[in-house]
Structure 1
Amino acid sequence: MAIIQAQTREGLGKGASRFLRRQARVPAVLYGGTRQNRNLSLDRKELLKLLETEGSGLRTHRQDMVIDGDVRVAVLLRDYQIHPISGMPEHVDFMRFDPNQIIQVEVPIRLKDEEICVGLKGGGMLDLIQKEVEVQCRADDLPNFLEVSVAKLEIGDAIHVRDLQLPEGVHINAEDNFTVVTVVGVHGEAAENAVAG
């Protein structure tokens, strides 16, 4: 768990945000729960380090935010914007962490058993089509990732979203049964087989 240092910001609007960015700070907002939204700012260097070390875990792991050096709040990162040219963070949204609140969050897919995958041993290649899936659950039940075993997949096989084993209390609201991962044959082999057949 990281500790995020934040400061209250007074000014709102584009001008105030530009001024903050010139001071190497990033505008942020904290919302959720029964309390009012709080307009904050973060040190850009600290935020970049946090994004680099925690990565997608910021969306799925509770973090502690210290506001103005004394108010401590449990938060989840909800969204952030990156400048398309500079690559610098432009704005960050945090949500107060309420363990009983039902939230929807994108959770990473983590593959396992690749070393014993039937299709890979047969010359196929894994194609992870969906790197994240959106889950719905209580904040306290939020998994860090969803683990998917590919051990039994043969060339041409796929695992779909409805095949995923979900932890208790975690749901996926997917209208389409989209493909998460598949094993594809190498093109050269497929062409050879077609000629031979």
Structure 2
Amino acid sequence: MAHCLRGRAAAAGEALRLRGAAAPRRRGGGRPRRRPRAAARERRKGRVPAVLLTLSGAGPGEGVAHRRILTADRKLLGEMLKQSPYFLSTPVRLQVRAGERSTAVVHSGTVLPIKVHRDETTGNILNLVMVQADEGTMLKVNLPVEFKGEDVCPGLKKGGFLQKIRTSLVYLCPAEHIPPKIEVDLANLDIGDRVSMNDIAVHPWLKLLSKNETMPVCKILASKPVE
């Protein structure tokens, strides 16, 4: 399931390389924090501050053992986001180099991008957050929901309306079995039918994280609800 950042970025003309950043000073004995000035300086250089999180253990809820401060090329990261609609649910191969012009690889492995922060006004990428996704690690992943079969759905052919209630679902997934998306098949749904969270077939190792698994993901209504 994992894809190589180098290979995917090749379509944009070069390989995506993340590089290590200078270790920030400790304040009062606390964990290292990257200064806002340092992050702003990297952004002016056309780079995006990034954080790589390593969990304390292979199981969920065991906390973060280590945070590594990195930077990525903004343009190349932007190209990857355009090319991959499932960027935040697709494990990727990562190489970290010692410096901007260095060829020395100081870290490599599989990671899962989990957050991309953007400026609300400009849409520019501000930060990237990733988590180490080694084989056997259990990760909580927000998976996008895609609906298929709208063109053959009996209820929609009769003039019904598809009410999309959930656009994503949260699962606990082994890092090696993270699907890029969850597909909901509408091909056999008639007016009045619905699909609940627990109706969706997934890999047996995936666990749905919901207090009520009977909550609907979508419904086929007779007409569009009045807003």
Question: What TM-score range do you get, normalising by the shorter chain?
Answer: 0.7 to 0.9
Q: Where in structure 2 are the equivalents of 1:17-36 lying within 5 Å?
A: 17-33=39-55, 36=66
How far is 1:127 from its partner? 2.2
Counterparts in 2 of 1:138-157, with a 5 A limit? Answer: 138-157=174-193
Q: Secondary structure at the match of 1:92?
A: strand
Q: Give 1:120 deviation, angstroms.
A: 0.9
Q: TM-score, normalised by structure 2?
A: 0.76
Matched, 1:63 2:92: yes
**Gaps in structure 2 of 5+ consecutive residues:** 7-15, 25-33, 57-64, 98-102
Tell me which residue corresponds to 1:113.
Answer: 149
Name the structure 1 match of 2:38.
16
RMSD, aligned α-carbons: 2.0
Contact kept, 8 Å, 2:91 with 2:178, in 1: the verdict is no
Q: 1:126 maps to which residue?
A: 162
Moved more, 129-138 or 67-76: 67-76
The residue aligned with 2:126 is 90
> Which residue among 40, 56, 81 is the counterpart of 1:51?
81
Instruction: Give the helix-richer structure, 1 or 2.
Output: 1
For residues 127-179 of structure 1, give each alpha carbon's deviation from its aligned partner in whole angstroms, at most 9, with x where no partner exists: 22211101112111112222221122222221111221122111102113322
Give percent identity, aligned residues only: 23
2:43 is equivalent to residue 6 of structure 1:
no
CA contact (8 A) 1:112 1:149 kept: yes
Q: Distance in 2 between matches of 1:173 and 1:50?
A: 29
Q: 1:162 is matched with which residue?
A: 198
**Which residue number in structure 2 is paired with residue 42 of structure 1?**
72
In the alignment, which of 173, 182, 192 is matched to residue 219 of structure 2? 182
Q: Which moved more, 1:176-185 or 1:31-40?
A: 31-40
The answer as to whether partners of 1:33 and 1:98 remain within 8 angstroms in 2 is no
Q: Distance in 1 between matches of 2:129 and 2:72?
A: 11
Tell me if the contact between 2:143 and 2:168 (Cα under 8 Å) persists in the aligned partners: yes
Displacement of 1:33 in angstroms is 4.5
Q: Describe the shift of the 1:8–1:127 C-alpha distance in structure 2 as closer, same or farther (beyond 3 A).
A: same
The 1-side partners of 2:153 and 2:84 are apart by: 30
Please list every run of 5 or more consecutive structure 1 residues that lacks an aligned counterpart in the other structure: 191-197
Mean CA deviation greater in 139-148 or 77-86: 139-148
Q: TM-score, normalised by structure 1?
A: 0.87
Letter in 2 for 1:178: M
